[in-house]
Structure 1
Amino acid sequence: MDFSPQDDFKGLGEGFDGFPKRLPEDVVEYIVFIIDSKLSDTQTRERLQAFQRALNALEKKFLKEYIWQRESIKLDLIREHGRWLLKGSTNYGDSVADEWLIVYFLRELSKEFKDAWIRIYDTDGEFLLIEAANALPKWLNPEVAENRVWINNHRLLIIPLSKQESPNPLSQLEALTIIRETPARPQHYPKIEEEAFHRLNGYPTAISENQHHVTLPLPRKVAHILQLKPSIISPIVETFYLRDPLSLRLLQPEKSKTPALFPPEDFVDVSVRFTKVLYAQLLGQNWTPPVHLGEALEQLVKRGVPSEKAEISIKIIAGLEMLTRHNVFSDKKAAREINLLLEDLESGEDSLPTDAEIAAWPRRDDDESWLNIDYNEFERELAGKGGGGGFGDKSAQDNLKKMVERFNAFIEDDDAGIDGADGLDPMDVDNDSDAENRTWEDPEDCDSDEDDEKKKGDAKKKTGTENDDNDEDDQRADAEYAEYEKAYEKFMALSAAEKALLVDEARELALTEEAEREEDEEIKNLSEMMEAELFGHGALNANSKTEKPVRKNLGVSAKGKEKMEVVEETEESDEEEDMLDDDYNLAENMLKSFKGQAGMAGPAGNLMGLMGLQFPPDADDEHKQIGKGKAPER
């Protein structure tokens, strides 16, 4: 199946080439091209075949006991658009270590095949750039990154965006043309490469460190299968991890009406190899086994087997039973291999191992301290004050330290703000429609010293008042953060039950506030409707229809007291007239608004109804009826 991303959807009109395809979740895809103008088509194919053989040699060297989470690395020789290439994809599931193992292999092979150009991407796109986000220039963002990132001769090379080029991602054909015709154009950025490949620093040692061995009691038949096919443990764990009601029914012979293929009996102690992810997945599952498996679990514990190991053994038996008997897994390679081994046992072509043979098998129990987390050390690491100890898996510690370093570097950046170290970049805005009107900086000049000096000069020109304001803002921010830290420490000190209670109360409070906001919004909408209706009928017109009397300028003379009394009386009467005019005006317009409803429901009628007022019959209508010879109703 082809998982490679295609161009975006172009519409259903002319030029429609299908809906855009995207990689499924947890899938990494990789492509290898041989670019050498001196090689013929046949020689290019032979060169790619040599690349395949070199990959197989690396697998035999480093992956003798390696277990892939779901799928292994694979490269198929195919022909696309008139050229030979190698292409493959791997579903790595929850094991990100599998994805980085593929990156390591392809990068190592690029040293031997200097004419090989390798592109690798996953669901997130150019994930190597995501790792190096802290070191990327402004122009290199997801909008333009596709098909620009390549591995060649053990280096990470990037095809830069030139000044004449439109700010769009390259197509695969465009990228290959650039590499073939202008091989000096792809640039090597050491800082980006260091950040992008930092997870590979522990390889190849990290390959073996990803595995975990533990000695478990298993039925002899199960031990036989795992001894012949150790990699089957991966689909066994995944089947148990993703179990469904139908699968669980198959574990109950009384309901499925068929005997168990792997009855929990005749237990022997054997060493089982997991990946760390598989072991953690199996260990972390809470599960109540059916009756016969539950009884076997109790017997193992009575024999002195640690309860944790006994539970893992029962889970392996259940996963193997579901994988072998469920129809949905019948086409899987692992299920077919198990059935073939069972057929050999039934036909007599093979036999179960004896106790002496099992005793000769190597046994190994790895340290499980990587599962334990020292939360005190973890908090110190988050604060950037990690000591000599550790809080769990070594790779997890390294990744966390890297994250803290990046965060601290961002915090210490004086130019950093809520939008990032340099504010929102124009390329971060999804406004491709105005691409032709934008100007683009040369990638080679994006980190120039002149720009840094200019920024420093601009910073020095800030006034003392601005600095004082910034200091006050910083003090307020520090005080708010201190309050947050105290509240967080109090919350973390609570028990799980108290935390759950607080969360429930917060959820109820949020729902109550949301209901109140909805009620306020409903009242607001009703008020706006009422206001619009009143405006339409002139009820809220500031200019009153009744003209106010013009006041005469009565000055103060020798008879000041008398004239002042006249003025005060005039002003009081004017104020009363104004109030009377406004009230009359409002009532008149309300009646007109009600009349305009023509007996239908409307804002004026609703408002008067809420106030308990009933309108009398319209006097205008009565006069019309009298004019026609009809007496008004009384």
Structure 2
Amino acid sequence: MDTAPELRPGDDGFEGFQMRLAEDCVEYMLFVIRDKTDSQFPSLETVKKAADQKLEELAKDYIWQREPFKLETKVQKGLGLPYLQGTTRYGDNVEDEWLIVYLLRELSKSFPSLWVRVADSDGEFLLIEAAKVTPKWLSPENDTNRVWIHDGKLLIIPLSNNISSPLSLQDAIETIKSSPASLIHSTFIEAESFYRLEKYPAQIRSSLHHSRATIPRKLAYILHARPKAIAPATEAFYLRDPRALKPLLSPAPTPPLVFPPTDLVTISVRFTRVLYAQLKSQHFARPPAAWRGLLDTAEVEVATTASTTTTTTTTAGPAKSTAEERLAQLEMGVKVTTGFELLARAAHESASRVAREVALLLEDLAEDGGDAALPGDEEIRGWEGVAREDDDSWMDIDYRDFEKELGGGKGTAGFGDAGTQADLQKIVSRFEAFLNDDKAGIDGIDVDEMDRDDDSDEDDDEDVWEDDDEDEDKEVGFNEEQFAKMMREMMGLPSEDGGREKGKQKAVLEEVEKESDEGGDEDEDGDEKFREIMAQMESELKSLGALDLDPKSKGLSSIKEKGEGPEAGPASQKEDGDEESGDDAVDIDYNLAKNLLESFKSQAGMAGPAGNLLGLMGMTLPRDEEDSGDDQK
């Protein structure tokens, strides 16, 4: 069969080298394709201005995790028309991605000639949301460039002449130009794909969180002027490099601190919930030396207050005292300030526009007289929302409420907000539907001919699929006793019923040999060679002691005879009667035991392979407290 020649740079139709998007990136393309019903044909610049205006209306105070929504004009050879394109890194906050989808869908309602395509590193993630109702012919192998947003609707380009192959961007544009009516609009797919957009635009405001923090006055000025700078500062702290943090830990850091803790004020800082959770959940064991005295004083005040007063208890738990609130605000302030210290030291080299703006503000502040230009207490008290403190109980999840939600329990307060509970129930319902679907394959859809191996012949394929059909209903179980027994044998330890197991293994081997002998003369030569090879391997492994599972291991005794063990010498020699006593003998491979103990010790009390293996076999070793104490000395 003739194949089309490979396109190279400069050829018509070449779309460039297909680069995979980063894991936390979303890409969006906006095409203006003339529609006969559209009397006013908008330009790309008109669409771009409308997008910026819509963004200002919907998300003026929104804080982007890494990069904001942005559009640039692109020209790609072979497409025949320019378009708007943008890429946004959303980091750990997937809400940034869905805000962009919502913005693009609303924008498409304003221009009948606008066609929008959006995808991320997973591909057509809108179809992933609607995987349960997606038609069988649409798969990750052929869905590229087929999903479009137009006039607020989700449209899909169908297969051309039933040919299931990836669709190029150029072919997709030509299809939209020539026959837009051929695109498929399914209300079921659209409802599932846009399910997360139902909570917008209210989600934009509910995703923000305000928390009071005690910070230097200079930093309060920076945050008031550039509140979105909290995102790169939080990331600088959350992903802090020990080498970059080391100068801050010194009593006399060089260069000096940009935000020394000398003139502190308490203000409300605006975060997104993701940013707040990243800071709140971080355990900052070694704060900068300049802050340690303040933290120690606050902790002493909390301890003194706790010993002299009784905290009141509410339905949500014990209420914080004033001293505890001051300590919490100071701890948050230390984290925020440390993040800005790290940000300011590398702001000029940062790819973040907001970070560079912080550097310019600091330069302007130094030129205007430094601390003399900072706002006073009266001015700070006049700032909007300066004392706002939001409840952060959304971070607390009771596992009992979580289990009730998973079980579909009603009549309980649940956890989180209504949107979180709805999302969880939807995930559970989808998972249960998948488990109850007897026709579901590995990928959650019916396996068709496209998933078969093209390199194998038809006869082999038929045999494989017949075997799968016969085995698909078999139950898969886990036998803990058999697993523990297998691990004992792998580690060279005696089996609890070694004799009986040997008898079973021998019977199985005899049965296998019997079946091999009955296979016919045509495979006799091959079987004989196979048995010879296996016999040679078995002999070599036995000579090395790898297959010696009897409770007569010579590992320790051989060491003692050579004078290497602690009891080497005449006292280590045994009488014949003692050697034959299998019940009293201790079956230990000295090297194995030594390596196992050293592996367990290297875990330092944490979870690890040695501890897990011993736990599966019912053995628990104590921590080596004596050695740990010696190490500390």
State the TM bucket, normalised to the shorter chain.
0.5 to 0.7
CA contact (8 A) 2:134 2:189 kept: yes
Secondary structure of the residue aligned to 2:82 is strand
Equivalent residue number for residue 191 of structure 1: 188
Report the residue type matching 1:73 in the other structure: F
Cα separation, 2, equivalents of 1:61 and 1:17: 35
CA contact (8 A) 2:347 2:355 kept: no
Equivalent residue number for residue 323 of structure 1: 343
Equivalent residue number for residue 155 of structure 1: 153
Equivalent residue number for residue 283 of structure 1: 280
Cα separation, 2, equivalents of 1:292 and 1:607: 64
Distance 1:57 1:510, change over 3 A: farther
- Larger proportion of helix: 1
Equivalent residue number for residue 309 of structure 1: 329
Cα separation, 1, equivalents of 2:349 and 2:424: 38
Cα separation, 1, equivalents of 2:181 and 2:37: 19
CA shift at 1:292, angstroms?
Answer: 1.9
* Aligned match for 1:25, one of 23, 26, 34: 23
Equivalent residue number for residue 234 of structure 1: 231
CA RMSD of aligned residues (A): 4.4
Moved more, 282-291 or 68-77: 282-291
Deviations 1:77-130 (A, max 9, x none): 222224111100100000000000000000011111111110000010000001
* Aligned match for 1:172, one of 169, 172, 189: 169
Cα separation, 2, equivalents of 1:72 and 1:424: 40
Cα separation, 1, equivalents of 2:82 and 2:329: 50
Equivalent residue number for residue 348 of structure 1: 368
Equivalent residue number for residue 261 of structure 2: 264
Cα separation, 2, equivalents of 1:542 and 1:96: 62
After superposition, residues 125-144 of structure 1 pair within 5 angstroms as: 125-144=123-142
Cα separation, 1, equivalents of 2:232 and 2:542: 73
Where does the alignment leave 5 or more consecutive residues of structure 1 unmatched? 1-8, 439-465, 488-504, 518-523, 532-540, 544-592, 594-601, 611-634
Equivalent residue number for residue 624 of structure 2: none
Distance 1:434 1:72, change over 3 A: farther
CA shift at 1:247, angstroms?
Answer: 1.3
1:380 and 2:399 correspond = no
1:114 and 2:109 correspond = no
Cα separation, 1, equivalents of 2:404 and 2:84: 46
CA contact (8 A) 2:209 2:270 kept: yes
Cα separation, 2, equivalents of 1:226 and 1:608: 72
TM-score by length of structure 2 reads 0.65
Report the residue type matching 1:424 in the other structure: V
Secondary structure of the residue aligned to 2:74 is strand
Cα separation, 1, equivalents of 2:128 and 2:87: 20
CA shift at 1:296, angstroms?
Answer: 2.6
* Aligned match for 2:72, one of 70, 73, 76: 76
Equivalent residue number for residue 251 of structure 1: 248
Moved more, 52-61 or 505-514: 505-514
Cα separation, 1, equivalents of 2:196 and 2:272: 18
CA contact (8 A) 2:248 2:289 kept: no
Secondary structure of the residue aligned to 2:200 is coil
Deviations 1:408-463 (A, max 9, x none): 333454x445657764233344649999xx9xxxxxxxxxxxxxxxxxxxxxxxxx
1:364 and 2:388 correspond = yes
* Aligned match for 1:200, one of 176, 182, 197: 197
* Aligned match for 2:59, one of 53, 59, 63: 63
Distance 1:603 1:337, change over 3 A: closer
Equivalent residue number for residue 553 of structure 1: none
Moved more, 192-201 or 253-262: 253-262
Deviations 1:559-589 (A, max 9, x none): xxxxxxxxxxxxxxxxxxxxxxxxxxxxxxx
Cα separation, 2, equivalents of 1:285 and 1:608: 53
Cα separation, 2, equivalents of 1:225 and 1:608: 73
CA shift at 1:203, angstroms?
Answer: 0.7
Secondary structure of the residue aligned to 1:310 is helix
Where does the alignment leave 5 or more consecutive residues of structure 2 unmatched? 302-321, 462-469, 494-505, 514-522, 526-531, 545-633
- Identical-pair percentage: 44
CA shift at 1:68, angstroms?
Answer: 0.6
Report the residue type matching 1:384 in the other structure: G
CA shift at 1:252, angstroms?
Answer: 3.0
Report the residue type matching 1:59 in the other structure: L
Distance 1:39 1:152, change over 3 A: closer
Equivalent residue number for residue 424 of structure 1: 447
After superposition, residues 45-64 of structure 1 pair within 5 angstroms as: 46-64=42-60
Cα separation, 2, equivalents of 1:53 and 1:433: 55
Cα separation, 2, equivalents of 1:604 and 1:109: 72
